Amino acid sequence: MKIPLARPDITKKERQAVLEVLKTPHLSLGPKLKEFEEKIAKFAGVKYAVGVNSGTNALHLIIRSLGIKDGDEVITTPFSFIASSNCILFERAKSVFVDIEEKTLNIDPNKIEKAITKKTKAILAVDVFGYPVNWDKFKKIAKKHKLYLIEDSAEALGSEYKNKKCGSFGDVAIFAFYPNKQITTGEGGMILTNNKRVADLCRSMANQGRKIKNGRWLEHIQLGYNYRMDEMSASLGIAQLSRINKILKKREKVAKLYSESLKGISDIQTPYTTSGVKVSWFVYVIRLSQGYSKKDRDRIIKNLTKKGIQCGTYFTPIHLQPFYRKMFGYKKGDFTVTESISERTIGLPFYNNLTKKQIDYVVNNLRDVLKKVN
């Protein structure tokens, strides 16, 4: 049996939605993007949404729109996909990493204030693996120190913290629509905010710095980019979003099946959940217990791969990425919680239509492989 780590779930209706656009003259800057933006804004419970061509570019525009620049500092997590820190570097500001909580894998709110300096402009928090950050605490800290709060919900579309959707907590937030996310547009991202100035500025910058209304095509009022989302992508996004509740139910079902099947296996820890938060299940990541080394973990993954089971190793700490080590001199030991956990994670195959039979196959093989490694 071959089981991929992730797999998009595109229905016939969704393929049709893309084809319909191709029959029109509007392949970009047409009605679909506007509709998708309005629907995402409504879904997340925010006033404005600005669609762009990737989550990374959504983050970049946010950093620019908040005026974060050379010499400024932004507090963020070392346990994330690299884009959540790179976006800070794009504008020559500095990523100041704060270690994570053992349980939730999100930035430890108790360690933030120590990292704040006169240069700190914002906290960029990530709802890692779809698990919501403790937004009450983060908002309090941001308010106390007059910092912007940026919410990277690229992995958390549909997640909820105290019955409010992720993507609605920061001054500005993003969703992302790469094929392994909860919904996909191929490539794509969205900026979410209640701040009209930020929304307008991002919209203009995404479209070459044009005026957002009544401008001439070749008039550019500020530095801009081509970060536009095309109409085919937006149309796919609309169609995917229309069945978001079904998608989230499927993901929850797969996660529950995993958690139940894995119960009897000692030496592993299943993802943390608790009341008051809803997780939209971006991935399903287990942790080997403390006695296991990175070598053990990699050997386990190799053995699973031999059985046709593709696994992920999310995340290599950002500060230990070759380019960060070289540029900033980070080394092992700088963020010990992040490092210790990242050496022991295994992302199991996870997608909407994963079957019970496939889950059993993964779990049985994992059980066998663990016996062998011990």
Ligand X SMILES: *Cc1c(COP(=O)(O)O)cnc(C)c1O
Q: How many residues does the chain have?
A: 374
Q: Which stretch binds ligand X (CB under 6 A): 39-47, 54-62, 90-98, 227-235?
A: 54-62
Based on the shown chain and the rule CB under 6 A, indicate whether residue 126 belongs to the binding site for ligand X. yes
CA distance 189 to 235: 13
Based on the shown chain and the rule CB under 6 A, indicate whether residue 81 belongs to the binding site for ligand X. yes
Based on the shown chain and the rule CB under 6 A, indicate whether residue 55 belongs to the binding site for ligand X. yes
Asked if 192 contacts 203 with a C-beta cutoff of 8 angstroms, the reply is: no
Least distance from ligand X to the Cβ atom of residue 72, Å: 20
Least distance from ligand X to the Cβ atom of residue 303, Å: 27
* Closer by beta carbon to ligand X, 232 or else 359: 232
Based on the shown chain and the rule CB under 6 A, indicate whether residue 80 belongs to the binding site for ligand X. yes
Based on the shown chain and the rule CB under 6 A, indicate whether residue 83 belongs to the binding site for ligand X. yes
* Closer by beta carbon to ligand X, 43 or else 81: 81
Based on the shown chain and the rule CB under 6 A, indicate whether residue 77 belongs to the binding site for ligand X. no
Least distance from ligand X to the Cβ atom of residue 120, Å: 21
Amino acid symbol at 241: L
Q: Which stretch binds ligand X (CB under 6 A): 34-42, 53-61, 116-124, 253-261?
A: 53-61
* Closer by beta carbon to ligand X, 142 or else 229: 229
Based on the shown chain and the rule CB under 6 A, indicate whether residue 189 belongs to the binding site for ligand X. yes
Least distance from ligand X to the Cβ atom of residue 197, Å: 23
Least distance from ligand X to the Cβ atom of residue 110, Å: 22
The Cβ of residue 363 has, within 10 Å, a number of other Cβ atoms equal to 19
The Cβ of residue 166 has, within 10 Å, a number of other Cβ atoms equal to 31
Least distance from ligand X to the Cβ atom of residue 55, Å: 3
DSSP 77-100: -SSS-THHHHHHHHTT-EEEE-PB
Based on the shown chain and the rule CB under 6 A, indicate whether residue 43 belongs to the binding site for ligand X. no
Based on the shown chain and the rule CB under 6 A, indicate whether residue 315 belongs to the binding site for ligand X. no
Structure-block tokens of residue 182: 């909860």
Least distance from ligand X to the Cβ atom of residue 209, Å: 21
Asked if 345 contacts 313 with a C-beta cutoff of 8 angstroms, the reply is: yes
Least distance from ligand X to the Cβ atom of residue 63, Å: 13
CB-side neighbour CA atoms (13 Å) of 335: 28
Asked if 93 contacts 73 with a C-beta cutoff of 8 angstroms, the reply is: yes
Q: Which residues contact 338 (CB under 8 A, 6 or more apart)?
A: 77, 78, 79, 99, 100, 317, 319
The 3-class secondary structure across 310-358, one letter per residue, is CCECCCCCHHHCHHHHHHHCCCCCCCHHHHHHHCCEEEECCCCCCCHHH
Based on the shown chain and the rule CB under 6 A, indicate whether residue 176 belongs to the binding site for ligand X. yes
Q: Which strands make up the sheet holding 284-288, listed edge to edge?
A: 268-269, 284-288, 345-348
Binding-site member from 135, 138, 169, 178 for ligand X (CB under 6 A): 178
Q: Which residue has the tokens 């020559």?
A: 92
Q: Which residue is nearest to ligand X (CB)?
A: 55
Footprint on residues 146-175 left by ligand X (CB under 6 A): 152, 154-155
Instruction: Give the binding site for ligand X (CB under 6 A).
Output: 54-56, 80-81, 83-84, 126, 152, 154-155, 176, 178, 189
